[in-house]
Structure formats: structure tokens, C-alpha cells
Amino acid sequence: MIPAIILFALTYVLILVFSKYRPYIALASGVLFVVTGMLPLGDVFGSIDFNVLLMIAGTMGIVALFIESKMPSLLADLVMEKVPTVQIAAVAMALFAGIISAFVDNVATVLMVAPVALEICKKLKTNPVPFIIGIAVSSNLQGAATLVGDTTAIMLGSALDMSFLDFIIYNGKPGIFFAVELGAVLSALILAVLFRKEKKPIPKTGERTKVTDYVPTVLLVGVIVALIGASFIPNKPDITNGLICCVLMVIGLVYNFIRKKNISAIIEPVKQIDFETIGLLLGLFLMIGGISAQGVIDAAANLLAKAGGGNIFFLYTVVTWASVLISAFIDNIPYVATMIPVIGGLATALDIDPTVLYFGLLSGATLGGNCTPIGASANITGIGILRKEGYEVKNSDFFKIGIPFTLAAIIPAYIFLWIFYGV
């Protein structure tokens, strides 16, 4: 177990220090976990979340066609007509991303909204880095708001046999949805403060970009509708969402080829897929699979559960804030999957209602990813988009938005959940 912890910790330090080489460092570490046997060969494929990788690849392909159609530019024009300053535009885009993310996977949300934000920044000649970071962290926040917002929410809903409406009203009390939205309001105010210097007025030219092709927009909307619909299908294959995105991308590529009658109509959109981001996620999946196989996640989960003793408030506090800390560095999916049965067993042993612990786990694990650039797939995707545009995101750039945003979101949610489910 100790060698796995050392390699994992060293890798994360190197990733944070040498941000330009994140994909190569993560992949090299993942290979080391496999070569050394810390991740058994039989567990390699099970450690990789192919659903996320396929979603990224498929959605990026569609987004490339979407951008080429000039629809993001038109949407940027419409946004600029309605908001007075750059500050309000940044907050509005983050809130818009959050609304979508309550119903669609966080990564897909970032891929859909980021092109619009980039177009706004190009037209205003302003730095898009804080815009995209705001979109990514807002997407992560709303993942816990509904049953279909994030994989961890789906896992908890399945474990507690919760319906979509149970996230809104649970056992006659306001559900976790309201805790998340309370955090969303306060974190939006934090974004407004962080963007307070962006007071430059947005010029109203009255001109709107003309869209050259509406089919990519239909495909992108189709992705949203299909992902929401698929979330209600019980016992579906794990890669369902990824296959949806890839199938719609293939349809888009075939359509583009027929329209242009040129092989570049397929090659160019495929070249826009960010394979470095996919490589980084692949490496992280292997690393997390390695520490999971070595029992590190199990040990951490049990340690957290025992630390609270018999005091429900202390236990709730430990679970929530430790989840924030742990999820800042590791994928929250294996962590939540491990903690759900641990909390269930602990609640049985102590004869307590585990609801507040489960909700604390979900809110903490979902929001913790906003603390670091590599804490959530949506963050990694957003940074990858910026890198392709020629912008290198420093750790300090992310921290000054991600950390205050996380605190503004988790503190009110933490208090809200205890008032309704702990007292």
C-alpha cells in the first residue's frame, strides 16, 4: 500500500508543478502502476472509465462541427446584446453552464458551453481563462443537484432507491437540490466579486453572425436530449452515454462529408478532438485503479468513518470536509462507491439515520473537485480547451477561482443539510 501512496502522491506533485506535461506524467505513472503489478492486468480495463473518454471524444467532434457552423458566434452575439459588462457576461455563462449541468454530464456541459464563452472573449478581446474556469467549476457544482446530474448522484440515488423528485423533496423536507442551489447563488456572488475588475462595457453593434449550417446545432441539442433520456433507463450499459455521443458524432461527420464531398470534412473535425486531455484522464484512471487495488481508498474510507465515533455531528463534519479534501485529488466516483456501503454499515451499527451523512458525502465529493485543476474531469476538459486555443492555465489561475468558489458553495450546503437532516 505504501509504494502506491508514494507513487500517487509524487505523480500529483509533478502534475501540479509541470502543468505543461500533465498528460505524459499521468500516462507514465499509470503505466508504472501496471508494470509494477500494483494495478493487476486483469483490473486495467475495469479501472478505465470508457464512458467518460467516449463522451469527450464524441462531443468534441460534434462541437468542432458546431463551431464551424458559426452558431457559437451567433450565441455570443445574443449574450452580448443582453448583458451590460464583461463581469456580468462571465457570471451569466457560468450560471448557464450550471443549469445545463444539472441535467447533463459535467464534461459534456463544458464542451458545449465553452465555445460560446470563447467567442465572447474573442469579440471582446479579453482573457478567456477565468471564463472557462468559471464554467467548469459551476458545472461541477450542479452535478449533485439532481439524480441525473452526475455519476455520483446516480450512484447514491440507486443505493437509497431515490427517484428524480427525491432530490428535490426527500421525506417531506427540502432535498439536496436546494442545498446545491443555495451554494450556487452564493458562489455566483463570489464569481461576481472575482470578476469585479471586468467592468468594461460590452459594445452593442446590432450585428449578428449568420449561421452557415444548423445541423450541428441539432446534433448538439440531440446529445443533451438523449443523455437526459438515457438517465431514466434502468440497468443500461455503462458506456451508454459515451456511445450516444460517438454515434451522433459519426452521423455529423457523415453528413459533413456528404455536404462537402471532401475527406477533409471528416479529418478536420477529428483533429479537433483533444487527445492530450483524453490521455491525461486515461492516466488518472489507471492511477486511481492502482491505489484502489492496493486498498488505499478502502483504508481511507474506513478511517474517515471511524474518526467520527458515535457523535453524528462530528461524523457528518468529517465525512463532508474529508470528502472535499480527498476529491480535490482523486476521482470522486471510486471514493463515493466505497463510502456508500461504509456509511450504511456505520449507520446500522450506531442505529442512526444516515441521510445527512449520505448527502454530506455527495455534496463534499462533488464540490471537492473544484479545488484543483485535476480534481474533476470537467476541469481537465476546460483546461484542455484553453490549451488548444493557446492559453496555458497556471495553477494559481485555477486556485484563485476554484477555492473561494468551493468554499462559498459547500459552507451553506453543509449548514443547510445539517439543519434539515441532522438536528
Q: What DSSP string describes 154-178? A: HHHHHHTT--TGGGTEETTEE-HHH
> CA-CA distance, 282 to 15, in Å (whole number)?
14
Say whether pLDDT at 355 is over 80.
Answer: yes
Give the model confidence (pLDDT) of 396-411 as tens digits. Answer: 889 999 999 999 999 9
Q: 174 - beta bridge partners?
A: 169
- Please report, rounded to a whole number, the percentage of residues in the chain having pLDDT higher than 90: 24
* Lowest mean pLDDT across 134-138, 274-278, 352-356: 274-278
Mean pLDDT of the residues in the chain? 85
Of 336, 323, 417, nearest to 369 (Cα)?
A: 323
pLDDT at 410: 92
How confident is residue 128, by pLDDT bands cut at 50, 70 and 90? very high
**CA 318 to each of CA 34, 56, 139, 221, 361: distance values in angstroms, whole numbers, following the listed order:** 33, 34, 25, 40, 10
> How large is the average pLDDT for residues 65-86?
83
CB contact at 8 A, 175 and 145: no
> How large is the average pLDDT for residues 86-104?
85
> How large is the average pLDDT for residues 137-160?
79
> How large is the average pLDDT for residues 12-26?
82
> CA-CA distance, 22 to 28, in Å (whole number)?
10
> How large is the average pLDDT for residues 22-39?
91
Amino acid at 121: C
Say whether pLDDT at 275 is over 90.
Answer: no
pLDDT at 251: 94
Helical (H) or strand (E) element with 211: none
CB contact at 8 A, 377 and 193: no
Q: What is the dihedral of CA 71, 75, 76, 77, to 10 degrees?
A: 100
Query: pTM for the whole thing?
Result: 0.72
pLDDT at 419: 95
pLDDT at 334: 65
